[in-house]
Every structure is written in structure tokens, then in C-alpha cells.
């Protein structure tokens, strides 16, 4: 009889399951008391966790957002056990859907639970259609998402403006998603793979301009603070790792050590184009601040907290250096912005040797929502950032804006699908060429929770074109070790040249640290000053197209070295490797003055030459016993006698300038060699295949030099 009653009860419940919401009521499950007791215990445990947080929107940067994600993930386990006992409870299915929606993975699993909750009880929760819409949105089922959101709008009795704005924004995001997905960007997106990605989360990749170094953030069991877990988290503390590209392959990542990483959260933010400076994020008191480290030889300095114009008692989360190091863009939620987190800019104060007051980047870029992960490209005029506003297709999308000549920013442009998705797309970086980008995401092909992915931007195919440094240099001295290491391959490349190499001693060939001064020849002003590494001698300079650059390399006890790079506006991306050796101040040392220019077929010095001669004046003033021969040389075209006279007049015009600057006549000798000391002979030039190569060789022969003849 007992079995018969139990069977009838089971059939009754099964019948109810097809059309009715079954509550967790012991009267219904009186024949399964022990199972019910255990299920109710699990249900209560899940509810205790679920109901800690109010049913309100939380920003991704809000600590409660992280806590809620962790809590909802914990609530899933007891909810699953309760649901296994009674799978037909509308409220439980709704809550499981909510937990899935807040989880880092398997968000799409929320949809069947929301649908079941609605089928069992259409009034299960006032916001069930809203969350179902989010679920459809996250799976890119945009039409169903819009339908769900519109149904939710009809339930808004109060017509609360904030709620209406929120749901209307999500409908607009769905419409933008349909538009972007219909016309995807031409890109490849590939998992960056091992050895960088592993079973732990990897994200926040930052790269040097030439992609030789990558730093990233990871939460591994080898982190500095791995002996404990952060409050409200099941992941380890963040640490910064570094990997280097050697012979085209990335090395196994190394923890950057206790000098950089602490027991708390330490995360990557930015690295300078030459990888000699790094900005990191630290959170020691829950506020979040930005710190700076310098590469001193082979060792990174201890992180130094940035000044009050950048860090506040509020939250500063990300930053980016300009290519010349004189401008810093950063994100803060300090009061006075247009939304929660806004982008700001600050300039380097040469007098105070510190960053100046910051300025909000304004409403063209900042919205009333959140902006994050700011990045200024080495070209100095393309800004990338993530935003919840503008024309986002959902959550944070990546946008770009261009700085115009009048100092205004263009309307931000969505980077498109599949770069952007309906989930959070944050902390995007792009290489100097504009051909490759990196970001972090959770995908089915991943190695862990989040992996670093590489984006390859495609363009119309073009054949490789052999470039040489001769095409880049306006005047060339004695050939040194140089090679073009990357060429233009598509229409998407940035108009920028990456010049890199090593500064060394000409005799010992050992690396030396030196100061590099970048000059705008036409404007006659210093654009930036850099330092090569004092251990490796490595340097890297970004040269946006459209300027005539002078590069001066100086070191105490050495003669200065000069280079000239006249890069037309139309010049596409290229990397040029140029090693530069410096000569000691000693008798017999010869230096080519690369930035001396004369009027055509005349000895008249152009104004652009004066900076170079002023540097020579300074050298002679600081070394009062030095005597020099200042010589001029021509190419082999033209008559011998004419070339000799022209070169003598040019050499003398340089000497006359130095005398006017106060250098004694007895310390100076002018000499015109004409075409008697060619660097490239006529026979060598005749063997060159292309006319531009021949012209570059003639240009190399046309030069002004000075030689120390007494000390």
C-alpha cells in the first residue's frame, strides 16, 4: 500500500512538472522526507549566498562585482543539488540562470534555466525577461534579446528613467551587434599558445614597440602572494610576468620577482616603446594606484608611486606613455568626470622634472558610462581604449580615435567584430605597425580561464618590397651594421618607422649607455630625449612619418654622433636596425656631421645646419685644447676643379660660423677635398641596380666632417 501511495505521488508530481511550478514544500514531498531535508538544506545554503548582494548593476571595477561573481559561482553547487531533487521550481531555475549569467564561463547555460522558469511561472521574477535578454545578447542571438528586452520594458510600472535608459541601451547594443556581425573585420584571431598561456588566467599583455618584449598579468600558484587568496576570490593574487622574443620564438615567462611583485595585486598597465620604463597597477588599500619602474641596466627599479596629479584617493586603473615620453594618458574615477571612470592626460614638466596637472580628455572620448584601458599608439596620434558607451555592441568594446592637427580628437570608432564581442573586451594593445594586436579572452580553445590572443589585421595583399636604410637616410656616413627587419605588407600599416639598435664604443665594441636627442630639423627644436640601456646599449626610437629628423647621440668623453632621417608623409611602416658606435675624444677621430645642409650648388649654410654646428661649438668650448680640421666632400659628378673649390668654400663657411661663435681661428683648419676621398667609388655605384640606390651612394659621398688633429 505504501509503495502504491508513493507511486501515485510520483505520478502526480510528474504531471505537475509539465505545467506547474513545484514549490519546495515538505507536504508535497512527505514520502521523501530525508531527500527533501537535504535538498532544502542545499537550497537555503544557496539562497544565503545569493541574497548577500542587492539586485543592482555593479561596475566591473567595483570590488562587489568581483565578490558577486565569486559568490554566485559558489551558490551554483548547492543550487544544482537542490535542482536535481526538484528541477521544476521556477524560482530556483531563475536563480541558477542568474548565477550562470554572472559566472566567467558557461554564461549561455543561463538561457534554458530562464526559459524553464518562465514556463513554470511567467511571473517568477519581475526582471526575468531582462536577464533572459542579457543571456540572448551574450550568445549573439540579437533578435531574441531585443524581444526579451521589449517585454521587460512593458513590465516597468514606475517607468524609472534609469531602468528605461539601461534597457534601451541594451537594445541599442543588440542593434549595433547585428550591424557589426553582418560586416566582420578582416582579421585572424589566434590563441597565443604556450609557453605564455597556461592553466591559470593570463591577461593585460603589454608590448614594446618592436614586439621583442611582452609583459602580462597572471594569477598563478607561483605568485609572490600565493600563500593566501585575496578576500572574496578563489584566484591567486596578480603578479607580473615577462617573456622575450628570441629568434622569432617567445621564451618561457618568468615572474618579474619581488622587486616588482608583492604579496598583493600587481598588474601590468603600460611599457614605454623602448621597454625602458614600465607602469604598473598596485592595490594595497582597495583604492588602486599607478606606479613607475625604470630598467636600470639589467635590473628593474623598485616601483615608485606616481604623483598627486595622477594618483588620488580614488581609483586609477590604467595608463599609457606617448612615444616621446612627455605625455601620459590614464584612467581615474575621481570626481569631476563625465562618467564613472574617465580618461585623463598629463604632460611632463621639464622644470619640475615631474608630471603636471591632469586634464580630462573631454566628452568626445569620455561618456557617462565607463572608459578603461587607455593606449596611445607610438605614432602619437591614435588612441585606443575600451568603453561601455559610444557605439558598443555590449559591455566594454574597444574603440579608436585620432588626434587632429588642431588638438581635437575624432569621434571614437568601434574596432568591429570579431575584435569586439558582446562580452567585456578590455586591455587591448597593438604593435607599432598596426598589423597585430593582443587582448585577453575566455574561449573554448583556451588553456585556462583567460588566455592571451593575437589579432592579425588583414589588408589587400601586396608583394614584399625590399627596403634599405639608404631609402630612409637623407645623408649617409660610413656604413654601419643596419638592416630593415620588417617591411610594408598591407594598407593597414601605420606610417611610422621604428629605429633600433645598440650604442657601443668604436674601439672595444662593448655596449655603452648614451643619450639620444631627437630633433625636428625643419622646426629646429628638440622633440624628445632618450637613454640607451647602460648595460646592453639597446635603444629604440619611434619616428612618425612626415618629418625631417636629426638624431644626436652623446656620451661623456666621446664625440657626439649625428644621423639624419628625412621620412616623407607617405612612408609606410618599417623597422630599421642601426648600430651606432661612439668615438673617444682623441687625435685622429673623424666624425661625419649628418645634419649640415647647404643651398644647392652653393656654400651657403641653411638654417637647419646651425644646431649641428652649435653642438660642435659646445664640444670645442668644453675641450679648449682640441684643434680640428673641418672638411667638405662632394660626389664625383661635375668637374674636379669645380668640386674642389665648392668643397673648400663649404668647409670655410662652417669654420666662419664657429669663429663667430667664439672659437679661436688657430684651432680651426678648413679643407675642401672635392671628390678625392669618395666613400663609394664610381665603379661601385655603377654596379647598383636601382637609381635611388645610386643617388643614395652619391649622397653618402657628399658630406661634411671634422677630424681632431691636436689635443
Question: For residue 53, what pLDDT is reported?
Answer: 67
Statement: residue 637 has pLDDT above 90: no
The rounded percent of the chain whose pLDDT value lies above 90 is 54
Whose cell is 551554483? That residue is: 76
User: Residue 67 — very low, low, confident or very high, per pLDDT cuts 50/70/90?
Assistant: low
What are phi and psi for residue 399, nearest 5 degrees?
A: -125, 165
Distance CA 657, CA 603 (A): 12
Statement: residue 30 has pLDDT above 50: yes
Which tens digits make up the pLDDT trace of 397-407?
999 999 998 99
Tell me the torsion sign for CA atoms 303, 307, 313, 314: negative
Statement: residue 221 has pLDDT above 50: yes
Statement: residue 321 has pLDDT above 90: yes
User: Residue 561 — very low, low, confident or very high, per pLDDT cuts 50/70/90?
Assistant: very high
Question: For residue 417, what pLDDT is reported?
Answer: 94
User: Which of these ranges, 15-19, 43-47, 62-66, 633-637, has the smallest mean pLDDT?
Assistant: 15-19
Question: For residue 58, what pLDDT is reported?
Answer: 46
Question: For residue 101, what pLDDT is reported?
Answer: 87
CB neighbours of residue 424 within 10 Å: 16
Which residues neighbour 687 within 8 Å (Cβ) at sequence distance 6 or greater? Answer: none
State the alpha helices, DSSP H only, in 18-157: 33-50, 63-85, 90-102, 110-120, 128-138, 142-154
Which tens digits make up the pLDDT trace of 75-114?
888 999 999 999 999 999 999 999 998 876 678 899 999 9
Question: For residue 171, what pLDDT is reported?
Answer: 96
Statement: residue 476 has pLDDT above 80: no
The percent helix, strand, coil of the chain (3-state, each to 5) is: 25, 30, 45
Question: For residue 229, what pLDDT is reported?
Answer: 59
Chain length of the chain: 711
Query: How do 354-355 and 342-349 pair as beta strands?
Result: antiparallel
Question: For residue 441, what pLDDT is reported?
Answer: 81
Task: Report cis status (omega within 30 of 0) of the bond before 418.
Answer: yes
Q: pLDDT higher for 234 or 342?
A: 342
* H or E segment to which residue 370 belongs: none
* H or E segment to which residue 296 belongs: strand 289-296
Helices and strands: H and E segment counts in the chain: 12, 37
150 in helix, strand or coil? helix
Which residue ranges form the domains of the chain, and what is each CATH number?
2-182 (1.25.40.10), 187-457 (2.120.10.30), 462-584 (2.60.40.2190), 586-711 (3.30.1330.60)
CA angle 598, 600, 605 (to 5 degrees): 20
Statement: residue 471 has pLDDT above 50: no
User: Residue 9 — very low, low, confident or very high, per pLDDT cuts 50/70/90?
Assistant: very low
User: Residue 5 — very low, low, confident or very high, per pLDDT cuts 50/70/90?
Assistant: very low
The rounded percent of the chain whose pLDDT value lies above 70 is 87
**Mean confidence (pLDDT) of the chain:** 86
Contact at 8 Å (CB) between 460 and 488? no
User: Residue 31 — very low, low, confident or very high, per pLDDT cuts 50/70/90?
Assistant: confident
Distance CA 300, CA 311 (A): 21
* 458-463, long-range: CB < 8 A, 24+ apart: 458/186, 458/187, 458/188, 458/490, 458/492, 459/186, 459/489, 459/490, 459/491, 459/492, 459/493, 460/490, 460/491, 461/490, 462/488, 462/489, 462/490, 462/491
Question: For residue 227, what pLDDT is reported?
Answer: 60
Whose cell is 614605454? That residue is: 272
615 in helix, strand or coil? helix
* 72-78, long-range: CB < 8 A, 24+ apart: 72/98, 72/99, 72/102, 72/103, 73/99, 73/102, 73/103, 73/104, 73/234, 74/49, 75/46, 75/47, 75/49, 75/50, 75/99, 76/46, 76/100, 76/103, 77/46, 78/42, 78/43, 78/45, 78/46, 78/49
Which residues neighbour 66 within 8 Å (Cβ) at sequence distance 6 or greater? Answer: 232, 233
User: Which of these ranges, 6-15, 199-208, 366-375, 573-582, has the smallest mean pLDDT?
Assistant: 6-15
Which tens digits make up the pLDDT trace of 276-298?
999 999 887 777 899 999 999 88
Statement: residue 336 has pLDDT above 80: yes
Which tens digits make up the pLDDT trace of 419-453?
999 988 888 999 988 889 999 887 767 777 788 99
Which tens digits make up the pLDDT trace of 489-543?
344 567 888 999 999 999 999 999 999 999 998 888 888 899 999 899 999 998 8
Distance CA 711, CA 703 (A): 24
Distance CA 472, CA 136 (A): 53
Q: pLDDT higher for 468 or 706?
A: 706
Distance CA 300, CA 657 (A): 45
Amino acid at each position: 500500500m505504501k509503495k502504491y501511495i508513493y507511486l501515485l505521488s510520483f505520478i502526480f508530481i510528474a504531471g505537475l512538472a509539465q505545467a506547474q511550478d513545484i514549490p519546495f514544500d515538505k507536504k508535497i514531498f512527505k514520502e521523501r522526507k530525508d531527500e527533501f531535508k537535504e535538498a532544502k538544506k542545499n537550497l537555503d545554503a544557496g539562497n544565503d549566498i545569493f541574497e548577500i548582494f542587492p539586485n543592482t548593476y555593479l561596475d566591473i571595477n567595483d570590488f562587489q562585482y568581483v565578490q558577486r561573481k565569486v559568490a554566485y559561482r559558489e551558490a551554483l553547487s548547492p543550487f544544482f543539488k537542490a535542482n536535481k531533487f526538484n528541477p521544476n521550481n521556477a524560482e530556483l531555475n531563475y536563480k541558477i540562470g542568474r548565477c550562470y549569467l554572472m559566472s566567467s564561463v558557461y554564461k549561455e547555460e543561463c538561457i534554458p534555466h530562464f526559459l524553464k522558469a518562465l514556463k513554470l511561472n511567467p511571473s517568477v521574477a519581475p526582471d526575468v525577461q531582462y536577464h533572459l535578454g542579457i543571456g540572448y545578447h551574450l550568445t549573439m542571438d540579437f533578435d531574441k534579446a531585443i524581444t526579451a528586452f521589449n517585454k521587460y520594458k512593458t513590465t516597468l510600472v514606475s517607468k524609472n528613467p534609469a531602468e528605461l535608459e539601461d534597457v534601451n541601451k541594451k537594445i541599442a547594443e543588440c542593434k549595433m551587434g547585428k550591424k557589426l556581425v553582418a560586416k566582420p573585420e578582416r582579421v585572424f584571431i589566434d590563441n597565443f599558445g604556450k609557453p605564455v598561456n597556461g592553466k591559470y588566467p593570463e591577461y593585460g599583455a603589454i608590448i614594446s614597440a618592436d614586439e621583442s618584449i611582452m609583459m602580462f598579468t597572471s594569477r598563478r600558484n607561483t605568485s609572490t602572494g600565493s600563500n593566501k587568496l585575496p578576500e572574496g576570490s578563489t584566484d591567486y593574487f596578480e603578479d607580473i610576468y615577462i617573456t622575450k622574443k628570441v629568434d622569432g620564438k617567445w621564451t618561457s615567462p618568468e615572474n618579474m620577482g619581488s622587486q616588482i611583485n608583492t604579496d598583493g595585486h600587481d598588474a601590468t598597465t603600460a611599457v614605454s616603446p623602448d621597454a625602458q620604463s614600465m607602469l604598473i597597477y598596485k592595490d594595497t588599500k582597495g583604492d588602486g594606484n599607478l606606479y613607475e619602474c625604470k630598467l636600470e641596466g639589467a635590473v628593474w627599479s623598485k616601483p615608485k608611486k606616481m604623483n598627486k596629479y595622477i594618483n588620488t584617493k580614488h581609483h586609477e586603473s590604467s595608463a599609457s606613455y606617448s612615444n616621446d615620453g612627455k605625455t601620459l594618458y590614464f584612467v581615474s574615477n575621481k570626481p569631476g568626470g563625465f562618467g564613472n571612470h574617465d580618461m585623463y592626460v598629463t604632460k611632463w614638466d621639464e622644470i619640475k622634472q615631474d608630471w603636471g596637472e591632469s586634464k580630462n580628455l573631454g566628452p568626445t572620448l569620455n561618456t557617462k558610462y565607463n572608459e578603461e584601458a587607455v593606449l596611445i599608439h607610438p605614432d602619437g596620434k591614435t588612441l585606443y581604449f575600451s568603453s561601455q558607451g559610444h557605439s558598443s555592441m555590449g559591455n566594454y568594446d574597444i574603440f579608436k580615435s585620432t588626434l587632429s592637427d588642431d588638438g581635437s580628437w575624432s569621434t571614437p570608432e568601434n574596432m568591429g567584430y570579431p575584435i569586439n564581442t558582446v562580452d567585456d573586451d578590455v586591455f587591448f594593445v597593438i604593435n607599432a605597425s598596426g598589423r597585430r594586436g593582443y587582448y585577453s579572452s575566455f574561449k573554448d580553445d583556451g588553456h585556462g580561464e583567460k588566455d592571451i590572443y593575437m589579432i592579425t589585421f588583414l589588408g589587400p595583399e601586396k608583394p614584399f618590397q625590399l627596403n634599405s636604410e639608404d631609402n630612409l637616410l637623407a645623408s649617409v656616413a660610413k656604413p654601419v651594421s643596419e638592416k630593415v627587419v620588417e617591411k610594408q605588407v598591407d594598407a593597414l600599416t601605420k606610417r611610422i618607422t621604428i629605429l633600433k639598435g645598440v650604442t657601443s664604443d668604436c674601439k672595444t665594441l662593448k655596449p655603452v649607455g648614451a643619450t639620444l636627442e631627437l630633433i625636428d630639423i625643419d622646426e629646429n627644436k628638440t622633440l624628445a630625449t632618450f637613454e640607451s640601456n647602460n648595460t646592453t646599449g639597446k635603444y629604440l626610437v619611434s619616428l612618425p612619418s612626415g618629418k625631417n629628423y636629426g638624431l644626436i647621440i652623446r656620451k661623456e668623453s666621446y664625440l657626439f654622433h649625428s644621423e639624419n632621417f628625412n621620412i616623407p608623409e607617405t612612408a609606410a611602416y618599417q623597422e630599421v636596425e642601426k648600430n651606432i658606435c661612439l668615438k673617444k675624444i682623441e687625435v685622429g677621430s673623424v666624425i661625419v656631421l649628418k645634419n649640415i645642409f647647404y643651398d644647392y650648388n652653393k656654400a651657403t649654410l641653411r638654417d637647419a645646419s646651425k644646431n649641428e654646428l652649435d653642438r660642435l661649438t659646445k664640444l670645442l668650448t668644453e675641450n679648449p685644447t682640441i684643434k680640428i680640421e673641418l672638411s667638405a666632400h662632394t660626389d664625383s659628378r661635375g668637374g674636379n676643379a669645380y668640386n674642389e673649390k665648392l668643397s673648400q668654400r663649404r668647409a670655410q663657411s662652417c669654420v666662419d660660423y664657429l669663429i663667430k661663435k667664439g672659437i679661436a681661428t688657430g684651432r680651426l683648419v678648413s679643407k675642401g677635398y672635392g671628390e678625392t676621398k669618395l666613400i663609394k667609388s664610381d665603379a661601385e655605384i655603377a654596379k647598383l641596380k636601382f637609381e635611388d640606390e645610386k643617388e643614395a651612394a652619391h649622397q653618402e659621398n657628399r658630406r661634411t666632417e671634422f677630424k681632431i688633429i691636436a689635443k
